[in-house]
Amino acid sequence: MSAMTDFTSCNPATGELVFTRPAWTAEQLDGALLRLAGERAPWANLSVEARAQKLLVLADTLTAARLELADLVTREVGKRTVECLAEIDKSVQLIRYYAELAPALLAAQPIATQASKSGVAFEPLGQVLAIMPWNYPIWQVLRFAVPALMAGNTCLVKPAPVVPLSTARLQDCVREAGLTVLDVAWIDHDHVETAIKASDAVAFTGSTTAGRLIASLAGRHLKKTVLELGGSNPFIVLADADVEAAAREAVHSRFRDAGQSCNAAKRMIVVPEIADAFIEQFVAEASTLRAGDPTLPETSLAPMTRADLRCNLHAQVTDALHNGANLLLGGTLPSGPGFFYPATILDNVNPACRVYHEEVFGPVASLIRARDEADAIRIANDTPFGLGASLYTADTEHGWALARQIEAGSVFINRHTSSDLRLPFGGVKASGYGRELSEFGLYEYVNVKTYWQK
């Protein structure tokens, strides 16, 4: 058994310690589990409309605390303040979305059979445990919790170790809203299995390696899992695409949030007809990004969140250069405080390079030159991951046909990949399974129970 791990955050822009708190003991976890167990029946027995009204109060408390929350996320994650505000605003929209639609989506549905009465009802599973990442500490928690709570479940969240202040302030908002059915478990890795065993389902967002471990622990105890894992999204630019627009979108998708997003464009796959034009425009656009204090409006590239993540990223860049890739921009470790890394573009990335196969979690873009359109689709699928993909073409009918050939949870035509409250979000292959958002994300956290009456 490993030593107990504290929850400790550093300011990515300065490297200075922000906050630390100890992890829970086993007894503290047992107490939280016992308390939540007592909340299950009263919450599940409320009408969906009543649960929606209680969650709408949380939307109001988040709105009132948005500036403070954004400041904390910037201090612990390093994202630009404008990016943090967008995260919180989207979280509020999520609550209002489900509050409006969940009552109809969770209503019992009659199904005609030879029975005098039959159909299905959507009933809560019980308790959902979430093991959450650091890059979107407000959005990721609420993306699972809001539909799970709306369906009548109680929720327990194990946050990432590096965002204790952001998580604690979110917990304060939950309490201010009068919600006692969503709690934070300040536990280290050694106590995760105990929490899984005591829960009825597990939601996990994080790396594929960690996802495999969580899935194995959940499988040992026969608990349902929803896994949103890594991504290496292809960004395909075809011969008839609007090159200038595609380049702008590619820069936004690859370098927002310091490139630390699972759903960002990571592999820019170009066909010969437009390769040079796209690359020239892409490099020019990326060259305008400026790293700096993430609280300042003139900063357009945030620091990375941790020193070890920056070291891992630079090792991937170094490996690519040793294996035939060409450096078009960035690629050098900056001196000075903080965990900054420049916008970096690698050309002629090939299968010998680690970045060709691995997820690249930082501001580094891989350019891959395809032989033709068919080869571009082959390269797009030549990855362990399958979260999302973008495809740029003037012939949208043809784009839809090509999209069906791409192995991914979503394909965006003439737009960068993103999540929309109204559409399911999730991946295939090593990007996980299950869906979040939309009605499909809501139904992940229910027992679809059949009723039949003679």
Strand bridging mode 201-205 / 265-270? unpaired
**CA 144, CA 129: separation in Å to the nearest integer?**
10
Q: Which sign does the torsion angle of CA 98, 100, 103, 106 carry?
A: negative
Strand bridging mode 388-392 / 410-413? parallel
DSSP conformational letter for 210 = H
Q: Which sign does the torsion angle of CA 21, 27, 33, 35 carry?
A: negative
Query: Is 298 assigned a catalytic role?
Result: no
> Among the options 10, 84, 262, 353, which is catalytic?
262
Query: Are 303 and 291 spatial neighbours (Cβ–Cβ below 8 Å)?
Result: yes
DSSP conformational letter for 387 = S
Query: Is 311 assigned a catalytic role?
Result: no
Residue type, 149: L
H or E stretch covering 243: helix 243-255
Local structure of 146: helix, strand or coil? helix
Phi and psi at residue 337, to the nearest 5°: -75, 165
Residue found under tokens 């998580």: 167
Residue found under tokens 């009918």: 397
> Among the options 87, 228, 249, 358, which is catalytic?
228
Q: How many CA atoms lie within 13 A of 343 on its CB side?
A: 23
Going by C-alpha positions, the residue among 410, 424, 266 that lies closest to residue 345 is 266
Tokens of 395: 């012939």
Q: How many residues does the chain have?
A: 454
152 CB neighbour count, 10 Å cutoff? 24
Instruction: Give the active site residues.
Output: 228, 262
